[in-house]
Chains A and B, each alone.
Chain A
């Protein structure tokens, strides 16, 4: 899963799609995941970081990740 290269993101979780004008506000976790994805960090590494930093089960993380990807797809922020 790759975030479109022209998507603008900020450290506070604001996302702007310059091709459509859509903008979104994400929380701190969204900002962190977006930044990692934009930097090309592999999915497994992002998940590993989360599991190390936060008290969350693998099952919960997988559910949240799937939900996250669905939201990114709906928002048209992923490369086809």
Chain B
């Protein structure tokens, strides 16, 4: 596809839950409009009727409910086929960890239908997941905190004996809590087990400065873009409510090594803790854009726009340097809709 045609693209995006633990969808959409202009057509894909992006028609032309990942790939493919018939999608950008397995699986069929994507492989997805992160770090020489998989309350006690307190209890897909007592550890274990299934993960607590890196891998061992951010204001869920772009060659080197050893394809986020010795511990690698991805645009790198271009077969040129000192401050806003709108998406699954 020629660049002049980007302005009329139809792009489907998930992750419209712009709440206090936001999905990246709205930030991705904002980035795409910054890159390709307001004429592109954005189609929202949501799992629930109260994802705020559904009601924000200045950003999302129309939203369709899609089946939860547990319903399998056939249900997802059937639903996307229907949506494609209505909207003629060009590109699809999934933004949730938990949905990626299915989207990767059906990517060839979507491509046959004319819907492009730019996703990691199942192997790449597994390499960096929370259950394999320590093993991944050991194999390739990255600093990764020690961890334990937790299946029972006894496992929590064993982990506490090894790590002492504080330690970190993490859900399989989302959420993490720093716990200081056994009571807190057990409560977090049970809560995360109920929310995301097992195993829950206990991770050694690393004291230091938390840094996040948004990267965009080209699938051939290089990054198109790497932008680092330090959280300035953190919510009680550990999410950044404000942050600033920072620049250190060590961050770029770390992300470039990650892209090199994995041949990572697509967007990703590295959650890093820099300890007092200056070692960069990888706490997590998320296989999609972070919710703060629009900050990369402000710093001069439009990673979502680059992803779309690569999905459509263009060789993207690495962005190179970016601007440090760009700040984002998230805010909340009461968006007004009508109960009829809610009825429309709830009953008919599209709005």
A residues whose Cβ falls under 8 Å from a Cβ of B: 6, 8, 16, 18-21
**A21 CA to B243 CA in the complex, in Å?**
9
10 closest cross-chain pairs (CB), A and B: A21-B230, A18-B324, A19-B248, A21-B246, A21-B244, A18-B247, A16-B325, A18-B246, A18-B325, A19-B246
B233: shortest Cβ distance to chain A, in Å? 12
On chain B, the residues within 8 Å of A6 by CB distance are: 247
Q: How large is the interface on B (under 10, 10 to 19, 20 to 34, 35 or more residues)?
A: 10 to 19
**Cβ–Cβ contact B325 & A20, under 8 A:** no
Contact of B246 with A8 in the complex, beta carbons under 8 Å: no
Which residues from B are CB-within-8-Å of A16? 325
Q: Does B316 contact A (CB under 8 A)?
A: no
Interface residues of B (CB under 8 A from A): 209, 211, 229-230, 232, 243-244, 246-248, 324-325
Contact A20 B209 (CB under 8 A): yes
| B211 contact set on A, CB distance < 8 A | 21
22 A-B pairs within 8 Å (CB atoms) are namely A6-B247, A8-B325, A16-B325, A18-B246, A18-B247, A18-B324, A18-B325, A19-B246, A19-B247, A19-B248, A19-B324, A20-B209, A20-B230, A20-B246, A20-B248, A21-B211, A21-B229, A21-B230, A21-B232, A21-B243, A21-B244, A21-B246
Q: Which residue of B lies closest to A16 (CB)?
A: B325
A54 and B333 alpha carbons, distance in the complex (Å): 51
Closest to B323 in A: A18
List the B residue with the shortest CB-CB distance to A18: B324
Q: For residue A21, which residues in chain B have a CB less than 8 angstroms away from its CB?
A: 211, 229-230, 232, 243-244, 246
Q: How far is the CA of A19 from the CA of B230 in the complex (A)?
A: 10
* A75 CA / B141 CA spacing, docked (Å): 30
| Interfacial chain A residues near B232, Cβ < 8 Å | 21
CA distance in complex: A16, B119 (Å)? 36
- Closest CB-CB distance, A25 to chain B, in whole Å? 15
Q: Which residues of B are found within 8 Å of A18, using beta-carbon distances?
A: 246-247, 324-325
Q: Which residues of B contact A8 (CB under 8 A)?
A: 325
Q: Which residues of A contact B325 (CB under 8 A)?
A: 8, 16, 18
Interface centre among B211, B232, B243, B248 (most CB of A within 10 A): B248
Complex interface: chain B residues within 8 A of A19 (CB): 246-248, 324
Q: Looking across the interface, which residue of chain B has its beta carbon closest to that of A21?
A: B230
What is the minimal beta-carbon distance from A8 to any residue of chain B, in angstroms?
7
Give the docked Cα–Cα distance between A77 and B334 (Å): 42
The residue on A at minimum CB distance from B209 is A20
CB distance from A10 to the nearest CB of B (A): 11
Residue of A nearest to B274 (CB): A20
CA–CA, A16 and B232, complex, Å: 13
Q: How far is the CA of A13 from the CA of B298 in the complex (A)?
A: 25
B320 smallest CB distance to A (angstroms): 16
Most chain B CB inside 10 Å of its own CB: which residue of A6, A8, A18: A18
Q: Give the Cβ gap from A77 to chain B, nearest Cβ, in Å.
A: 14
Nearest CB in chain A: distance from B257 CB, A = 19
